[in-house]
Chains A and B, each alone.
Chain A
């Protein structure tokens, strides 16, 4: 094919670094967050290596504190939060709504540079000694206790926050103002609904973490003690502000994955989603309720028992829209003609793992049980089921699904299926034992543990190695496919959605003719026959 597309239109380095094309910016993000992912992964492997034996043999306590802190900071702020929105979101939002670009393309490029600057600050902190406060930066340890690179890390996260905010702002305006003719709100793909809900959290939550971490930095640098108990400041107030963002941040990670899964399930079951509007609205409901539950991180911090009660109740309430999604996906699968392509394997894995993560979240939202498992490996396992089992599975599924559209090449199917299975098995082997460890009382954030916990820890470390392999595989074969993969047709999955109506890879302006939408999303052929 000699047609020009967004990739071959120009090969110069300037054409990438100064691009305002949302598709290229998506790839810039993809490259940068992949680097961060593997860096965070190295820290994870070192943690698991240390925990292979009960004694301290690889690292000492100080180093271990830095390892889990750097792992958390990098994975949360520099991989998971930008992951789907900045890559697939950037690529797909304009394509799915039939627009030529995001509303503010230069702002979009600026977001990426802001991300880079934030990442560089954090890497500076990492490579000049690290941070040991935990990714949560709890005061007063982070303000008066820690003797590590807290300020550069906090500055990095602060800066990176603006990247999130600008991305969210761009999506919100684009989705409001730039939809193709006929594309009403309830004809939008579910991925767009999810991205929209995520953007709302970006807009409302990120400024709060930004100002909070700025205050931590100010307190360290100038000894102006906003959270310092010595002058009557309240360290618990920091926790409130921190979790006001950081709980919704979980939904920043999981909602886009849910959006991806909605696309994958409908496509590979060849059915329109069961209860489209319920799935769509549940995204907004999750975003809304997600702002009202932060106190469930503080049941043992001395917060008022009445506050805990309400936070506990509201945390249970978030399960409702989450369960709506799970049930609706399952109902969509029912009597669908299911094809087990690699992206679908990730999507099915997502449903299972997210369900486990979500249900164990209810354990943690229960006031009594939380006292027992608080700050144990039960919590670690729970949020990894959501953030890795959920968010990352959705991300990988989405990357595979849209890889042909993004690159114009097919990924190798068999290898990808194997990788999906390796990831699934490795993941469960890593994290399921941690539920048991936590329930038995192994606290998180310690580098040594009693001998009786070793068997489960060995299982977990073994699983982590398998999981690591599962992540290296796609890294390898996706790069391989760039050169040797089969050429992708415009719509290899016979999927609905405007992004599949344009060539793979798309031209710079996305569509040769602006599409006009005349019906709902997800009109999969042959479906009428199945309607009861």
Chain B
């Protein structure tokens, strides 16, 4: 593929007057989509809030069984991935260095993969400890009943978050290939920018999940 392909702005779709309108529309579309995502997670956060206020002790104890080190490492990994994501967007905006864009995208993918891997280790631990809700649930602490509710929410919230991560990694993989083919540059970087927005959003969700799930009663 010849080099100058990357310098061509992507053709404006027929419904738009110009590339600016197209970019504005795409950006607004992504923001609106993220609003729906907030509401989507918001349902779960609401449920969490209600049950935690009903059963604060049970939630505190159950939270104590989570592996805070792995959770903290994952938080750092995810924040790091947001940095590489931001660098990918910035590089696409200001330079035609396709390798650098792809490199930052791949770094984000790797960090996302590390996050998911650690999450998998945590899930496996919970599985061995019989903390997965359902018929085989077993919990030795006080108020096992409501602790199960906590673990329901733990798996649902982190599971939904992980699903978003998987989708994000998929999107980034496509972008990385596109970047290597020189599709992005200062005149056209919308997909990188919008995927970046999505990735940061997923990151921010985790920033809320981590304290709500892992740090409920760490002071005692």
Inter-subunit contact A173/B47 (CB<8 Å): no
Q: Among B21, B40, B148, point to the contact of A210 (Cβ < 8 A).
A: B40
Chain B residues with CB under 8 A of A178:
15-16, 21, 25
> Does residue A177 face the partner (Cβ distance < 8 Å to B)?
yes
Inter-subunit contact A215/B156 (CB<8 Å): yes
User: Which residue in chain A gives the minimum CB-CB distance to B13?
Assistant: A105
Inter-subunit contact A232/B32 (CB<8 Å): no
Assembled-state Cα–Cα distance A120/B203 (Å): 35
Q: How far is the CB of B164 from chain A (nearest CB, A)?
A: 13
CB-CB contacts of B48-62 with A at 8 A, as 1s and 0s?
A: 001100110010000
Chain A residues with CB under 8 A of B133:
222-225
Q: Among B28, B37, B145, point to the contact of A232 (Cβ < 8 A).
A: B145
User: Which residue in chain B gives the minimum CB-CB distance to A101?
Assistant: B15
Q: How far is the CB of A206 from chain B (nearest CB, A)?
A: 7
> Does residue B39 face the partner (Cβ distance < 8 Å to A)?
yes
Q: Among B13, B21, B24, B42, point to the contact of A208 (Cβ < 8 A).
A: B42
Q: How far is the CB of B74 from chain A (nearest CB, A)?
A: 23
User: Which residue in chain A gives the minimum CB-CB distance to B55?
Assistant: A232
Q: How far is the CB of B190 from chain A (nearest CB, A)?
A: 13
Known: A231-B148, A231-B149. A223 touches B28 (CB 8 A): no
User: Which residue in chain A gives the minimum CB-CB distance to B144?
Assistant: A231
Chain B residues with CB under 8 A of A237:
47, 50
Known: A215-B156, A225-B133, A241-B46. A232 touches B36 (CB 8 A): no
Inter-subunit contact A173/B145 (CB<8 Å): no
Q: How far is the CB of B141 from chain A (nearest CB, A)?
A: 14
Chain B residues with CB under 8 A of A225:
133, 148-149, 152
Interface size on B, residues (CB 8 A): 38
Interface size on A, residues (CB 8 A): 41
> Does residue B153 face the partner (Cβ distance < 8 Å to A)?
yes
Inter-subunit contact A226/B156 (CB<8 Å): yes
> Does residue A159 face the partner (Cβ distance < 8 Å to B)?
no
CB-CB contacts of A178-218 with B at 8 A, as 1s and 0s?
A: 10000000000000000000000001111110111001001
Assembled-state Cα–Cα distance A178/B17 (Å): 9
Inter-subunit contact B32/A172 (CB<8 Å): yes
Chain B residues with CB under 8 A of A232:
51, 54-55, 58, 145-146, 149
> Does residue A176 face the partner (Cβ distance < 8 Å to B)?
yes
Chain A residues with CB under 8 A of B15:
94, 99-103, 105, 178
Inter-subunit contact B32/A224 (CB<8 Å): no
Chain A residues with CB under 8 A of B39:
203-205, 207-208
A218-251 interface (Cβ within 8 A of B): 218, 222-226, 230-234, 237, 241
- For B33, B36, B46, the residue with the greatest tally of chain A CB atoms inside 10 Å of its CB is B36
Inter-subunit contact B44/A211 (CB<8 Å): yes
Inter-subunit contact A231/B145 (CB<8 Å): yes
CB-CB contacts of B1-42 with A at 8 A, as 1s and 0s?
A: 000000000000111100001001100110011011101111
Chain A residues with CB under 8 A of B134:
222-224
A178-B16, A208-B42, A231-B149 given. 6 additional CB < 8 A pairs?
A: A102-B15, A203-B35, A203-B39, A222-B134, A223-B134, A224-B155
Could you jot down 25 A-B contacts, CB within 8 Å?
A: A102-B15, A103-B25, A103-B29, A104-B25, A105-B13, A169-B33, A172-B28, A173-B29, A174-B25, A177-B24, A177-B28, A178-B16, A207-B37, A207-B40, A210-B40, A211-B43, A211-B44, A215-B47, A224-B133, A226-B152, A226-B153, A226-B156, A232-B58, A232-B149, A241-B46
10 closest cross-chain pairs (CB), A and B? A207-B40, A211-B43, A101-B15, A207-B39, A177-B25, A103-B25, A232-B146, A224-B133, A100-B15, A173-B29
